[in-house]
Amino acid sequence: MERKIIETDILIIGGGTAGCMAAVEAKERYPQLNVTILEKAHIDRSGCLAGGMNAINAYLNKGETPESFVRYVRSDSCGLIREDLVKTMSELFEYCVKKVEKWGLPILCDDQGNYLPRGRWNIKINGESLKPILAKSARSAGAQVYNWINVTNLLMEGDRVAGAVGFSLRNGTFYVVKAKATIIATGGAAGLYRPNNPGDASHKTWYCPYNTGAGYAMGIRAGAEMTSFEMRYVALRTKDTIAPTGTIALGVKAPQVNAKGEQFMKTRYAHLGGDGAPTPYRTYGPLMEIKEGRGPVYLDTRGLTAEQVRELKAAYLDMYPSMVLYWAANNIDPSKEPIEVQTTEPYIVGGHCQAGYWVDGDRRTTVKGLYAAGDVAGGAPYKFVSGCWAEGVIAARAAGADIANMPPITVSEEQIAAEEARAFEAIKRPGKVRYPILPTDMEARLQKLLEQYAGGASTYYEMNEEMLQIARQRLAKFPADFNHLVANDLHQLMKVHEIMDRVDVAQTLVEHLLHRRETRWPSYQTRTDYPERDDVNWLKFVNSRRDPKTGNIQVLTRPYEQVIPGDRYKP
């Protein structure tokens, strides 16, 4: 295989929301450093932002402070977050948003020039081209961008990360990037559980289906400590199209109603804040209506004015155009009929929940030389685009400072050769194995297994010790089949790596689900054998580390630290 060796100072894996912002910050602060981005797609339209955005969901509107934000996020996440991380990211919202506005992002303003809020922590944008705006800024800042490079693993120099390797989807060149600091920004993981829609719509997921947990998996293999995988994200989304509902719920303040027209959040969940209850309960509430026979569930848009309906459609066109075509194709007029909603496949995403790398205040992971930002980083929920930017900034600042005066990296040829073999094995296999396994075959088996035994939609996301033990045992058999995976072209080779990554993520996930013996986030993490929240024993983080030598996953806990005083269950 052709090899391309690159030596750089800072390597960014994944040129998405956090990755592009990290690149700009690194080049602005440390112009003398080389910054390199490796991206599996093309940074102009990759990751979560490909279709556009209509709001910045984490912003301190007038009167709010980092402290009020931490209080809100803490109660929204049922009393357990890394308050230090949430605070430091919120301190940078303004810095990041102003920057992106300067680059050309249209932000909606009132007559006085103040940003228009959409809910307490959100502002409205016309973000159809947000991703190309970020990409252009990363390039102009001087970052070296390599598109269509699927990163397969980290490189190590002793116990520190020394860069990464991957292959080109265009020509199969093997990329070896040696870096003094590596920032991982590959987003979260979709496609672990059975998707909502079958057949040609199976990728019609809410979370970006091309973020397949690669960043988590690389860290898991390198022995990085991970946190809170058990806090999965189960979203409340529109029926079929799986579009975000904040646009409706916050944009036009539509309440949830059940089949009988009851505003059940207001009655059954009044003690938790009704329609403003913590996000897990806004998934759990409608789920229980359906389970107990009062479904379907809707967002009640009846009575909206024609003007409001137009606004709603315009907002979706900026982010999720398929919603608008769906209404037109099915003759749905949101002012006359309510919009049906459903719950999604569980995702692992550190930007909505807090599954991801265990990091310090500077977003250093527990492995030297490796930093994490965005949906791949743990401990700090409620990140959304602006929190991902903030983490990119923090990680870039720390990475640049840490590597001052560092000698060049050396990586053994033995390691590079082993990684090269691992990267391309599957494409050399067709015709050479008696029982070839396509990546889609393994995907189907994984998704079915997690769906049935690790709290998928068909069991209302519920699970118990016995189910999880089955999931653990059956998952343990997957890695032995990796050497049957076949790829007939480079695209399929990417899919082979995606499924191997998801298996690694799934194993860690199940260990976390087994470990937390309480129910802290109903629907995200519902244990039927431990149905109550238990602050006495479980007000702490469940973390894990897979030993790179033995492959054993060790689960440990880390204490929760309250930084902002006050009742943890009050916003």
Partner 1 sequence: MPVWVDPEKCNGCHGASQPPCLRMCPGDLIVKDHTANKAYLKYPEDCWDCLPCVKVCPEEAIEFHLSYQFGGKGAKLIPHIHKSHDQISWELIDTQGNSETFTIRTKLMPVALDEKVEGGTQTLDFSI
Ligand X SMILES: Cc1cc2nc3c(=O)[nH]c(=O)nc-3n(C[C@H](O)[C@H](O)[C@H](O)COP(=O)(O)OP(=O)(O)OC[C@H]3O[C@@H](n4cnc5c(N)ncnc54)[C@H](O)[C@@H]3O)c2cc1C
Binder to ligand X among 163, 351, 400, 455 (CB under 6 A)? Answer: 351
Q: How far apart are CA 421 and CA 30, in angstroms?
A: 35
At its nearest, how many Å lie between ligand X and the CB of residue 393? Answer: 12
Rg, Å, the chain Cα set: 23
Q: Is 128 in the site for ligand X (CB under 6 A)?
A: no
Instruction: Return all residues near 389 (Cβ < 8 A) that are at least 6 apart.
Output: 17, 18, 21, 92, 96, 97, 100
* The one among 148, 207, 382, 478 contacting ligand X by CB under 6 A: 207
Residue 557 bridge partners (DSSP): 542
Query: CB under 6 A: which stretch of 35-43, 264-272, 419-427, 563-571 binds ligand X?
Result: 35-43
- Interaction between residue 345 and ligand X (CB under 6 A): no
104 binds, among partner 1, ligand X, none (CB under 5 to 8 A by kind): partner 1
Partner touching 369 among partner 1, ligand X, none, CB below 5 to 8 Å by kind: none
Taking the least distance from each CB to ligand X, the nearer of 40 and 232 is 40
Minimum CB separation of residue 286 from partner 1 in Å reads: 21
Binding mask 392-431 for ligand X (x = CB under 6 A): ----------------------------------------
**Min separation Cβ 93 and partner 1, Å:** 20
Write the DSSP symbol of residue 1.
-
* CA torsion angle 84 90 95 96 (round to 10): 110
In three-state secondary structure terms, 29 is: helix
Residue 447 touching ligand X (CB under 6 A): no
Q: Of these partners, ligand X, partner 1, none, which one is at the site of residue 132 (CB under 5 to 8 Å by kind)?
A: partner 1
Residues whose CB falls within 8 Å of the CB of residue 229, separated by 6 or more in sequence, listed in order: 348, 355, 505, 508, 509, 511, 512, 513, 542, 544
Q: How far is the CB of 28 from partner 1 (least distance, A)?
A: 21
**Nearest 10 degrees: Cα torsion 487, 490, 491, 494:** 80
Using CB distances below 5 to 8 A depending on partner kind, what does residue 76 bind out of partner 1, ligand X, none? none
Of partner 1, ligand X, none, which one does residue 375 interact with (CB within 5 to 8 Å by kind)? Answer: ligand X
Which residues inside 39-58 make contact with ligand X, applying CB under 6 A? 39-41, 46-49, 53-57
Query: Reduced to 3 DSSP states, what percent helix, strand and coil does the chain have, rounded to the nearest 5?
Result: 40, 20, 40
What SS3 class is residue 160? strand
User: Of 106 and 296, which CB lies nearer to partner 1 in the complex structure?
Assistant: 106
Residue 15 in contact with ligand X, rule: CB under 6 A: yes
Binds 385, which of ligand X, partner 1, none (CB < 5 to 8 A, cut-off by type)?
A: ligand X
| SS3 annotation, 277-294 | CCHHHHHHHHHHHHHCCC
Determine whether 29 is exposed, middle or buried from the number of CB atoms within 10 Å of its CB (0-12, 13-18, 19+).
Answer: middle
Shortest Å, Cβ 261 to partner 1: 25
Q: Which amino acid is at 282?
A: R
Single-letter residue type at 166: G
Q: Cβ(121)–Cβ(58) under 8 Å?
A: yes
The entry of partner 1, ligand X, none near residue 73 (CB within 5 to 8 angstroms by kind) is none
Give the nearer residue to partner 1 in terms of CB position, either 38 or 513. 38
Q: Which is nearer to ligand X, 128 or 511 (CB)?
A: 128
Q: Which residues bind partner 1 (CB under 8 A)?
A: 2, 4, 40-42, 44-47, 50-51, 104-106, 126, 128-129, 132-133, 136, 146-148, 168-173, 197-205, 208-210, 240-241, 310, 313-314, 317-318, 321-322, 324-326, 328-331, 427-428, 430-431, 489-491, 494
Report d(CA 421, CA 432) in Å as an integer: 16
Residue 130, φ and ψ in degrees, nearest 5: -55, -45
Of 373, 376, 374, 383, residue with least CA distance to 355? 376
Q: Which residues here bind ligand X, judged by CB under 6 A?
A: 13-19, 38-41, 46-49, 53-57, 150-151, 166, 185-187, 206-208, 210-211, 214, 244, 319, 351, 374-376, 383-385, 388
